[in-house]
Chains A and B, each alone.
Chain A
Amino acid sequence: MFWKIFAYIFICGFVIFMVVCLIYNRNVRNKLLDEGKIIIRKKGFWDMSETFTIRKVTLQAIYNRISADDMKKYMGQYELHDGKYILFQHTGVNESFKATLRLVSSEDDLNTYRLQVDEYTTNSSYPNEQSLNVVFTAVERIFLSYDPNIQVVTAPIARKTTRG
């Protein structure tokens, strides 16, 4: 009898916990969407690189804009490395990622930047989609603020999946 009651309480508790988690996640996602911190993206966007070409915008200027937005609580850590790339890093319980915004070429005043997820680890098939979406959206919005007509070239990344 005791074990039946225990099992019943355990199962109910688990279901309630799952529902609460789902509702919480949905609310956070809706809040980010409303605030414009994320946009709806296709699944697998993290396996694509985005290349932007823009005039007279330095990596330092982009970094300053990201810092001013204070997005740390959504996207994890970020730092500028030698003025060559900005590293976005997130380490969760079951997942992590490293994404970079890199200056790939610079001719006269024309700078080309590439944003991509260099590596991610996950227990499921997907990385932390929400944090990555925040990173991509923040960077895209900064480029748009400099040039509303900017073009983005999206290309697949050659991934090599390894298992631990």
Chain B
Amino acid sequence: MSHPAKPSLLPTLTFGVASIVLFYLLFHFSGHFVDWALRTTHGEKALFLIPVVVAFVFSYFHGQFTGHFWEMLGLRAAKVSVVTKKK
């Protein structure tokens, strides 16, 4: 049984725009990220969390975007049991 079709244009656009904004910010401020990495090696160890937090934020927004993107193009999961599968 397939999931019922849902219009996914709005969430795709919303998360897509958020994702683009995040990538723009990442590269616009890339000098800062390089600088923070340098400062981590020079003793400011708390800055090590920055890449981890950035990765989590990107995974949420870009992950949501890619999920909705494929769904919008009709790529949906089949709802089947794990143990005994039927094609």
Q: Do A and B bind each other?
A: no
Show the binding face of A for B, using Cβ within 8 Å.
none
